[in-house]
Amino acid sequence: MNKSEKIKSKLLKIYKKNNPSKPTNLKKVLKINQDIIENKLKFPRKFFKNLTVGDIACGTGEFGIVAAKNGAKVTGYDYNNISINLANKNSKKLKLKNINFLTKEFFQTKKKFDFIFCTAALHHLPNPYTGLKHLIKMVKPNGFIFLSFGLDSSNLQHNLMKLIVRNWGNKDEDIFKASKLLFKEHINRCVKFGFRSEKSVIADQFINTQHYYLNLNKTLRILNKKFDLHSCWPPIYIPKGDSGMNMFQNNLNNYVLPSEVLWSAKTNDDDKRIKKFEESLNKKNYIKLIAKLNNKTNLNLNKIIKMLKLNKNFDIKPDLSFGLNSHTDNFFKELQKTLLFFKRKPSIKKAKIFLDKTKYILKGTRGVGLNYFIFKKKS
């Protein structure tokens, strides 16, 4: 068994045991997905009528079901037969005859579609860019691709949580116990707004280590060859006077860097002061630092600290303290303190006291979990 097959086997075992994608309230999840597609990503429901839709790595198929309810002819693929069985059960319950879910890897199909969904799946693959390139081939000319995935920058805080809970053991039961004690508020939020069980949230976000987060610049450059951006959410920061549709004709860094900084350090309160937060961002080293923290760290705290050059002194020399924006500055300062604190292997009680006192790191929505995009293929 090669590395790729081992990762796949381990991931499938986690998902079959805990089935993280199973919704606790199907009706509300379908309503949320419809809102994401129609309102946040500006793709009207009437556009789905008579389209052929592929729901790739569909899990329990909630996005595919939304498309079918809007009149599309849908085929869903996933290699987890438990999820597929539930997806077919839900579609029959809704009396949908224009949808079918198959236990099959999408790499095994050469079928082309007018519209493809691939949600929360690419970052679980051993090589997400290989998966992305295969998806591109599955879209017909003038067709659309809907992608949602985790980014190397905006998932900094998710990685940090996974590192922290492993301080007291790597067994499933150890991780369940630590995560419930230290991140109860976050787990409760995911249960409430994601309509999943506590068990599935912990399995997906803490036990599953196969999150190979994508680099936004690289992802957009791959897509730019054959696609135009239709919409995205959260929005990519576009300077005034420029069009989001023409972003690829300009320097991507002008858009991607400040957007990723904003996404990575954002908390609930930032919605209130979003304009000031955007205006004060600059394009120095914030994003490069975040990407380095995540890239190939393999949940290794010492490697992260080494990357930050903090093992010998506590000086913030990698251009972290330019005083541009107090929130972002404080976020990085608190990040350093957090990394150094957990390097000392504290007791779980002391860890809870420390985390309860933080003001920026691991607060609010903990960065952006998933980013959503719709791209249109060029003719």
Q: What is the mean pLDDT of residues 315-323?
A: 35
Q: What is the mean pLDDT of residues 9-31?
A: 74
Judge whether 238 and 247 are in contact, CB under 8 Å: yes
Judge whether 374 and 67 are in contact, CB under 8 Å: no
pLDDT range class, residue 300, cuts 50, 70, 90: low
H or E segment to which residue 213 belongs: none
**If you count them, how many residues does the chain have?**
379
pLDDT of residue 314: 32
Helices (H) and strands (E) in the chain, counts: 16, 7
Amino acid at 260: E
- Going by C-alpha positions, the residue among 223, 230, 287 that lies closest to residue 254 is 287
pLDDT range class, residue 245, cuts 50, 70, 90: very low
pLDDT range class, residue 367, cuts 50, 70, 90: low
The C-alpha atoms of residue 30 and residue 70 are separated, in whole angstroms, by: 12
260 vs 297, residue with greater confidence: 260
The C-alpha atoms of residue 114 and residue 89 are separated, in whole angstroms, by: 25
> Strands 227-233 and 371-377, how do they pair?
antiparallel
The C-alpha atoms of residue 87 and residue 89 are separated, in whole angstroms, by: 5
Question: Considering the chain, what is the average pLDDT of its residues?
Answer: 77
Q: Is the pLDDT of residue 74 over 60?
A: yes
Instruction: Report the b/e string of 312-344 with b at 16+ CB within 10 A.
Output: eeeebebebeeeebebbbebbbbbbebbebbee
pLDDT of residue 47: 95
Query: Residue 280: phi, psi to the nearest 5?
Result: -90, -5
Which range (68-77, 105-114, 270-279, 353-362) has the least confidence? 270-279
Contacts of 368 (CB under 8 A, 6+ apart): 151, 154, 155, 234, 263, 264, 266
List pLDDT tens digits, range 52-62: 999 999 989 99
* % of the chain at pLDDT higher than 70: 67
Going along the chain from its start, the domains and CATH numbers come out as 3-151+216-230+369-377 (3.40.50.150)
pLDDT of residue 37: 95
Q: Is the pLDDT of residue 311 over 90?
A: no
